[in-house]
Chain A
Amino acid sequence: MVKEREEKKILAKEAKDKLATYGTDINLEAFSPETDEHPYQENLSAFPLSDQEQMLKAGVDIAAKNRSGTFIQKDHSVVHCSASQEGMEIMDIDQAREKYDWLHDYWWKAVPVNMDKYTARAELHQEHGYFIRSLPGAKSIYPLQACLYLEEDNLAQDVHNIVIAEEGSELHIITGCATGPHVKSGLHVGISEFYVKKGAKLTFTMIHNWAENMAIRPRSATIVEEGGLFLSNYVCMQPVGTLQMYPVTYLVGENATARYNSILIATPGSEMDIGSRVFLKAKGARAEIISRAITTGGKIIARGHIIGEVPGIKAHLECKGLILSDKGIIHAVPELEGHRQDVDLSHEAAVGKIAQEEVEYLMARGLSQEEATATIVRGFLNVEIEGLPPELKAEMDKAVEISEKSLL
Chain B
Amino acid sequence: MAESLNKGETKMLSIENLRVEVEGKEILHHVDLEINQGETHVLFGPNGSGKTTLLMATMGFPDYQITGGKILFKGEAITNMPLNERAALGIGLSFQRPPTIKGVKMRQMLEICGKGDKNVESMAQSLDFDEFLDRDLNDGFSGGEIKRSELLQLMAQDPDFLLLDEPESGVDLENIALIGKVIEKLLEREVELHKGKSHKELKRERNKAGLIITHTGYILDYLDADIGHVLMDGELACIGNPREILKTIKEQGYNECVRCCGLNTSVLSKEKSKE
Known: A360-B61, A360-B62, A375-B112. A365 touches B101 (CB 8 A): no
Interface residue stretch chosen among B45-53, B102-110, B140-148, B191-199: B102-110
Q: Note all chain A residues with C-beta closer than 8 A to B98.
A: 361
Q: Are A365 and B62 in contact (CB under 8 A)?
A: no
- Residues of B that sit less than 8 Å from A by CB: 59, 61-62, 82-84, 87-88, 92-93, 95, 98-99, 101-104, 108-109, 112-113, 115, 136, 153, 157
Bound-state Cα–Cα, A151 to B242, Å? 75
A356-372 vs B, CB cutoff 8 Å, 1 = contact: the mask equals 01101111111111001
- The reply to whether the CB of A46 lies closer than 8 angstroms to some CB of chain B is no
Those of A158-205 within 8 Å (CB) of chain B: none
Can you list 15 residue pairs at the A/B interface with Cβ under 8 Å?
A: A361-B95, A361-B101, A363-B84, A363-B87, A366-B87, A366-B112, A366-B113, A366-B157, A369-B82, A376-B104, A379-B102, A379-B103, A379-B104, A380-B102, A382-B104
B83 contacts which chain A residues (CB < 8 A)?
A: 360, 363-364
| 15 additional A-B residue pairs with CB within 8 Å, beyond A358-B101, A366-B88, A381-B103 | A355-B99, A360-B61, A363-B82, A364-B59, A364-B61, A364-B83, A364-B84, A365-B87, A366-B87, A366-B112, A366-B115, A367-B112, A369-B84, A376-B104, A380-B103
On chain A, the residues within 8 Å of B136 by CB distance are 379
Q: By DSSP majority rule, is chain B's interface helix, strand, loop, or mixed?
A: mixed
Interface of chain A, helix or strand or loop or mixed? helix
Q: A367-B84, A368-B84, A369-B84 are in contact. Are A362 and B102 (CB under 8 A)?
A: no
Which residues of the other chain, B, contact A364 by a CB distance below 8 angstroms? 59, 61, 83-84, 87, 92-93, 95
Q: Is A398 an interface residue (CB 8 A)?
A: no
Given contacts A360-B61, A360-B62, contact A365 B153 (CB under 8 A): yes
Task: Collect the chain A residues with CB atoms within 8 Å of residue B62's CB.
Answer: 360
- Count chain A residues whose beta carbon lies closer than 8 angstroms to a beta carbon of B: 22
Assembled-state Cα–Cα distance A383/B102 (Å): 9
Taking a contact as CB atoms under 8 Å apart, the answer to whether A376 and B84 are in contact is no
Q: How far is the CB of B153 from chain A (nearest CB, A)?
A: 6
Cβ A379 vs Cβ B82 within 8 A = no
Kindly report which residue of chain B lies nearest to residue A292, judged by CB atoms.
B103
A380 to B136, CA, bound (A): 11
| A9 located at the interface, meaning its Cβ lies under 8 Å from any Cβ of chain B in the complex | no
**In the assembled complex, which residues on chain A have CB atoms less than 8 Å from the CB atom of B87?**
363-366
- Cβ of B242 to closest chain A Cβ, rounded Å: 26
Flag if B103 contacts A378 (CB, 8 Å). yes
Bound-complex Cα distance A294 to B92 (A): 32
| Residues of the A chain whose Cβ atoms lie less than 8 Å from the Cβ of B59 | 364
Kindly list chain B residues whose C-beta atoms are within 8 Å of the C-beta of A381. Answer: 103
A366, A367, A375, A382 — which one has the most chain B CB atoms within 10 A of its CB?
A366
**Residue on B with the closest CB to A384?**
B103
CB-CB under 8 A from B92, the residues of chain A are 364
**Which B-chain residue is minimally distant from A362 (CB atoms)?**
B112
Q: Which residues of A contact B93 (CB under 8 A)?
A: 364
Residue from B84, B101, B157 within 8 A of A379 (CB atoms) = B101
